[in-house]
Chains A and B, each alone.
Chain A
Amino acid sequence: MTDWNAMTDAEFRKEVRQFFEAEYPEELRHLPHRPKFAEIEHWHRKLHAKGWVAPAWPAEFGGMGLNAAKLLIFYEEQQRWGVNRGRDMGVQMVGPLIIKFGTQEQKDYWLPRILSCEDIWCQGYSEPGAGSDLANLRTRAEIDGDDFVINGQKIWTTMAHDATHIFMLVRTDPDAPKKQQGISFLLAPMDQPGVEVRTITTLSGETEFCEVFFDNARTPRENLVGELNKGWTMAKALLSFERIFIGSPSLAQNALGQLESFARGRGAFDDPVFRDRFAQAALDVEDHAALYARFADQLKRGETLGADVSMLKIWVTECFQRITELMIEAAGPDGGSIGPLQVGNVSVDVLASFYKARPTTIYGGSNEIQRNILSKAVLGLPG
């Protein structure tokens, strides 16, 4: 077993880069949409054979066992080469939870199936009445013999129409004194009569997320992860690394690269106003990267990140959105057209980038919620 963490950063980066460049299928680079599993299965098999499906998991569970610094490098290289993350909710979200809070039986059963993608997971947290105020969720799970019986509705469930299982937060004690109490973390199969999935078409015309209805759906009691009514704190415990990942510069950097080649081809740089706005955006990206490096260094020194890391997400997502606005501006009369625009030998899908940028300020804790968090946890403002 390779001890990746023993390598220097440069060696490790080289190794990862070489693998992606040699093995990642060209036609899947920088996919503009979220793929169904079938579309990326051939890549997933290579990754699985290499043992690289779960970079963050400890090696004993089939992961690469990377420390935070190496993990950051792994993701940087992944994004640099435009490698699709695949259907990674199992790896990113359920797996770590099972590893941390699950029983031995749960680990033995679920983890290998996550790695092989025999099970494909979706995340059932949000509900019509529980978005930013997630603790307001109402989907009920009641014990009935050896099963939980689930009733209620989830929404915005990404790729639920292409998932075999759902991990969810459900209410198991409606009488708990605080709404954060009485919530449990449950795994459930999707392929059963009590589960109905309806796709929702997004602004860009894709079917990326769904509504999921539960009408006396059942899941065995052993699919409860962690203690009953303790799901809220468990789900929160997982967020810490995700917060730097979601603020990484790559989305904005890629968009800036696209903007530049597109604008150049279109002659937009002849306009001094455009030049200044481009320079502004480019410097926004560059200085964000400097701040990101400061947080990454903290991780490399083995420190844990504080709540202030949220500022990365705020800055980079809003910057990403400004860049996509500039693409539309550079497109001029084509600014409302769907599909790739050919400019010289590059092809840029202006609106695809624009649409992709929209939800980045909504999901992962909306930017308003991030500001609420920063104002209290970092600035110490009252109320």
Chain B
Amino acid sequence: MTQTDILSSEQEDLRLLRESVRTLFERAGGSDRARQLRDAGGGFDPEMVRELAEAGVFGVAVPEDQGGLGMGLAAGGVIAEEVGRVIAPEPVVSTIGLSLGLLRRLCPDHPKMAQLIGGEISLAVAWQERGPDGAPADATCRYADGKLTGGKAWVVGAIGSHGFLVVAEQDDGPVLVLAEADAQGLVIDKRTQADGSSLGELSFSGTPAAELASSGAVLTALAEAVADATALAAAELVGLSERAFEITLDYIKTREQFDKPIGSFQVIQHRAVDLNVMCEVAQAGVREALAQMDSETDPKVRAPIASRAKARAVTAAKKITRDAIQLHGAVGYTDEFDIGLYLNRALVLSAWLGDDAYHRRIWFEAREAEGAAQ
């Protein structure tokens, strides 16, 4: 095979993957499903999780010898874009990026791996902590004698998960442990988010948990998994932005005022073009970033690439979802119209794992450090 043949057969694989995930979501009801699940209390659909697993979604970035598809983050991005298009509430990115990202790096032989890949369970990852002022703070959650004490905040997918992968401290350094969802002494507070999903605030008082891995490798793997999830969240925002733009474009073609479609007014047209350009730049930038992460192994290089992707995706999604509301007029401000669901989901995905300003800072600092090293 020549270089171009390899390239195009890879692309063909991604195209097929995209089609199968898209079809699956469309059959299940597209974005209507997101509304129904939100109205039903804001969880996700375990049946959908199993169907996604059958399509190979969760194991996409897990190497083949660990039971996955071994297609890398680029393929993960394809899936995330499709999740974003229908604003599906299932924990797809957090599973591919965080829980499997951690397990495959630290304990690839653990039986939970296969269960996660098979969609039988979901596990939420808990590593951040809230300080007394409410802002993120250094970790103090302790693990000793097989028990956890302390708290964790901003846990995505906490509601409905079967257990928690908790990064804690023990006497000789960091440790990754598994606490079951119904473990003794575990209290889960939920904070509802704009899209109806919840963030978990966990508190542990002597909660039994099983050690999975320890030593410095835990923090390295965590940083890697967070970078993966960050880039995949960027891809989810790209898909979300694209769909929000399409909905808006349809609307301005059909809504009439002054006896013509509002999309015939030049100021509206130029805004629409700007949103379209924003979308295309974001798609190109994020896809390139994911491909680069697949071909890089150095965590110091991969992390700023993920930041580049998230910074771009958040900037684009912010602009597109806000302008989309404006271009819809008053109906854009109602809960009844779908465009608002996209805005609300964008708010959540933007805040998760760092917004654009945060990631520009990280990206810039890494660039400076690299410059100084040379």
Interface residues of A, Cβ cutoff 8 Å to B: 269, 275-276, 278-280, 282-283, 286-288, 290-291, 293-294, 308, 311, 314-315, 368, 371-372, 374-376, 378-383
With A381-B253, A382-B261 in contact, do A283 and B312 touch (Cβ < 8 Å)? yes
- The answer to whether B249 touches A287 (Cβ under 8 A) is no
- The answer to whether B284 touches A372 (Cβ under 8 A) is no
CB of B282 within 8 Å of the partner chain = yes
What residues on B are CB-neighbors of A314 within 8 Å?
A: 273, 277
A379 to B261, CA, bound (A): 14
- Name the residue of chain B whose CB is nearest to the CB of A278: B364
- The answer to whether B277 touches A283 (Cβ under 8 A) is no
Stretch among B163-171, B197-205, B262-270 lining the A interface: B262-270
A371 to B284, CA, bound (A): 20
- The answer to whether A311 touches B361 (Cβ under 8 A) is no
Q: Which of A278, A294, A375, A380 is the most central at the interface, judged by chain B CB atoms within 10 Å of its CB?
A: A375
Q: Looking at the assembled complex, report how far the CB atom of B244 sits from the nearest CB atom of chain A, in whole angstroms.
A: 14
- The answer to whether B272 touches A291 (Cβ under 8 A) is no
With A279-B364, A371-B269, A372-B266 in contact, do A290 and B287 touch (Cβ < 8 Å)? yes
Give me 10 A-to-B residue pairs in the complex whose CB atoms sit less than 8 angstroms apart, sorted by A's number.
A279-B364, A291-B285, A315-B277, A371-B273, A372-B266, A375-B272, A379-B249, A379-B269, A380-B253, A381-B252
Q: Which of A280, A291, A380 is the most central at the interface, judged by chain B CB atoms within 10 Å of its CB?
A: A291
Please report which residues of chain B, range 326-374, place their CB below 8 angstroms from some CB of chain A when the two chains form the complex. Answer: 357, 360-361, 363-364, 367-368
- The answer to whether B361 touches A286 (Cβ under 8 A) is no
What residues on B are CB-neighbors of A286 within 8 Å?
A: 285, 308
Q: Looking at the assembled complex, report how far the CB atom of A292 sits from the nearest CB atom of chain B, in whole angstroms.
A: 8
- The answer to whether B270 touches A287 (Cβ under 8 A) is no
Q: Which of B272, B280, B311, B368 is the most central at the interface, judged by chain A CB atoms within 10 Å of its CB?
A: B280
Q: Please give me the 4 A-B residue pairs with the lowest Cβ-Cβ distance, nearest first.
A: A383-B264, A287-B285, A375-B269, A291-B284
Please report which residues of chain B, range 244-289, place their CB below 8 angstroms from some CB of chain A when the two chains form the complex. Answer: 249, 252-253, 260-261, 263-266, 268-270, 272-274, 276-277, 280-282, 284-285, 287-288
- The answer to whether A374 touches B312 (Cβ under 8 A) is no
Q: Looking at the assembled complex, report how far the CB atom of B148 sits from the nearest CB atom of chain A, in whole angstroms.
A: 38
Q: Looking at the assembled complex, report how far the CB atom of A125 sits from the nearest CB atom of chain B, in whole angstroms.
A: 24
What residues on B are CB-neighbors of A288 within 8 Å?
A: 281
With A283-B311, A314-B277, A379-B272 in contact, do A290 and B360 touch (Cβ < 8 Å)? no
What residues on B are CB-neighbors of A294 within 8 Å?
A: 284
A314 to B274, CA, bound (A): 9
B273's partner among A280, A283, A374, A382 (CB-CB below 8 A) is: A374
- The answer to whether A291 touches B266 (Cβ under 8 A) is no
With A275-B364, A311-B276, A383-B264 in contact, do A283 and B252 touch (Cβ < 8 Å)? no
- The answer to whether A287 touches B273 (Cβ under 8 A) is no
With A290-B288, A375-B269 in contact, do A276 and B277 touch (Cβ < 8 Å)? no
- The answer to whether A382 touches B285 (Cβ under 8 A) is no
- The answer to whether B363 touches A371 (Cβ under 8 A) is no
- Name the residue of chain B whose CB is nearest to the CB of A264: B371
- The answer to whether B260 touches A382 (Cβ under 8 A) is yes
What residues on A are CB-neighbors of B270 within 8 Å?
A: 368, 371-372, 375
Q: Which of B249, B265, B281 is the most central at the interface, judged by chain A CB atoms within 10 Å of its CB?
A: B281
Besides A279-B363, A290-B287, A382-B263, 5 other A-B contacts (C-beta < 8 A):
A276-B360, A294-B284, A311-B273, A381-B261, A382-B253
Q: Looking at the assembled complex, report how far the CB atom of B57 sits from the nearest CB atom of chain A, in whole angstroms.
A: 25
Q: Looking at the assembled complex, report how far the CB atom of A91 sits from the nearest CB atom of chain B, in whole angstroms.
A: 30
B260's partner among A275, A293, A379, A383 (CB-CB below 8 A) is: A383
- Name the residue of chain B whose CB is nearest to the CB of A380: B253
Q: Looking at the assembled complex, report how far the CB atom of B6 sits from the nearest CB atom of chain A, in whole angstroms.
A: 14
- Name the residue of chain B whose CB is nearest to the CB of A277: B360
What residues on A are CB-neighbors of B281 within 8 Å?
A: 287-288, 290-291, 311, 315
A376 to B264, CA, bound (A): 9
B361's partner among A279, A371, A379 (CB-CB below 8 A) is: A279
What residues on A are CB-neighbors of B276 within 8 Å?
A: 311, 374, 378-379
- The answer to whether A381 touches B284 (Cβ under 8 A) is no
A372 to B287, CA, bound (A): 28
- The answer to whether B272 touches A381 (Cβ under 8 A) is yes
What residues on B are CB-neighbors of A381 within 8 Å?
A: 249, 252-253, 261, 263-264, 268-269, 272
- The answer to whether B280 touches A280 (Cβ under 8 A) is no
- Name the residue of chain A whose CB is nearest to the CB of B264: A383
A375 to B367, CA, bound (A): 37
A57 to B198, CA, bound (A): 62
- The answer to whether A279 touches B360 (Cβ under 8 A) is yes
What residues on A are CB-neighbors of B312 within 8 Å?
A: 283, 287
A241 to B113, CA, bound (A): 51
- The answer to whether B272 touches A283 (Cβ under 8 A) is no
Q: Which of A276, A279, A308, A314 is the most central at the interface, judged by chain B CB atoms within 10 Å of its CB?
A: A279
- The answer to whether A375 touches B273 (Cβ under 8 A) is yes
What residues on A are CB-neighbors of B364 within 8 Å?
A: 275-276, 278-279, 282
Q: Looking at the assembled complex, report how far the CB atom of A13 sits from the nearest CB atom of chain B, in whole angstroms.
A: 15
What residues on A are CB-neighbors of B272 within 8 Å?
A: 375, 379, 381
- The answer to whether B361 touches A291 (Cβ under 8 A) is no
- The answer to whether A276 touches B357 (Cβ under 8 A) is yes
Q: Looking at the assembled complex, report how far the CB atom of B240 sits from the nearest CB atom of chain A, in whole angstroms.
A: 17
What residues on A are CB-neighbors of B260 within 8 Å?
A: 382-383
Q: Looking at the assembled complex, report how far the CB atom of A296 sits from the nearest CB atom of chain B, in whole angstroms.
A: 11
A379 to B268, CA, bound (A): 12
